Amino acid sequence: MSELAGLVVDWGGVLTADLNVAMGQWARSVGIEFTAYQDVMRALLGPSGGVEAVYNPVHALERGEIEVPDFERRLADALTAHTGTPVSAPGLVARMFERFEHAPDMAALVRRAHASGLRTALLSNSWGNEYPREGWAEMFDVVVISGEVGMRKPDPEIFEHTLALMGLTGPQCVFVDDIDRNVRAAAALGMVGIRHTSYATTAAEIDLLFGRTLSR
């Protein structure tokens, strides 16, 4: 077994609080039920949410293949048609993401990992949103944002691209994500996958895997 030397983490749901909570707050703020938003997203994503449709606007947005305003119009129209509540398109993505809360405990763990000599990377699927990048130089050796590289999780190419930038192999890296299919995709490349559900469980597993105290 290769010695672990790298830590790769997701942004939304790992370095932020739970995505469903933030999206639920946004949905309520515009007067729609969160379940209605979920229904619309399932329709946009296609069967099972993980299978490429003939044209999948969410995946296209994550790869940077369509402009944010185009996606906002499509999503706003779908939400308005489904709920009967008018949803304004301009700036929709920014409004949806403004309720995401920073997870300082996970960010501090990544900074400690970086300071301890581990190679660290951010690997995030983007909706064209702005990231709060202040302090990232002290956290990450490598930053890979899906829309900037034209690839998205869980496609193996984006993991391979990240590993190449880190100068490491899959078996040398731990990958943390809140979405199970992304964790499975990383594990298929030999990475040690952690499905993030809470700071306590993720931090304890990271401490054990790396054989050093990074949780505090």
Which residues partner with 195 through β-bridges? 177
Query: Is residue 53's pLDDT more than 60?
Result: no
Domains 6-17+101-210 and 19-97 belong to one CATH topology: no
What class, spelled out in words, does domain 6-17+101-210 have in CATH? Answer: alpha beta
Domain boundaries, the chain: 6-17+101-210, 19-97
Helix or strand holding residue 173 (H, E): strand 173-177
| pLDDT score recorded for residue 48 | 52
Give CA–CA dist 185/190, Å, rounded.
9
Q: In terms of Cα–Cα distance, which of 208, 144, 215, 214 is closest to 182?
A: 144
Which stretches within 116-198 are classed as H helix? Answer: 146-149, 156-166, 180-188
Q: Which two tokens stand for residue 211?
A: 């054989």
Give CA–CA dist 119/7, Å, rounded.
6
Give CA–CA dist 124/11, Å, rounded.
6
Q: In terms of Cα–Cα distance, which of 64, 34, 39 is closest to 49?
A: 39
Which residues partner with 173 through β-bridges? 6
Give CA–CA dist 120/122, Å, rounded.
7
pTM more than 0.85: yes
In this prediction, residues 212-216 reach a mean pLDDT of 96
Q: Which residues contact 181 (CB under 8 A, 6 or more apart)?
A: 50, 154
Q: In terms of Cα–Cα distance, which of 95, 79, 129 is closest to 23?
A: 95
Query: Is residue 47's pLDDT more than 70?
Result: no
C-alpha 37, offset from chain centre: 19
Amino acid at 158: I
Which residues partner with 16 through β-bridges? 102
| pLDDT score recorded for residue 46 | 75
| Strand positions, DSSP E, the chain | 6-9, 119-124, 142-145, 173-177, 192-195
Give CA–CA dist 155/153, Å, rounded.
5
Amino acid at 163: L
CATH among 1.10.3470, 1.10.3210, 3.40.50, 1.10.150 for 19-97: 1.10.150
pLDDT digits (tens, 9 = 90+) for 90-137: 999 999 999 899 999 999 999 999 999 999 999 999 999 889 999 999
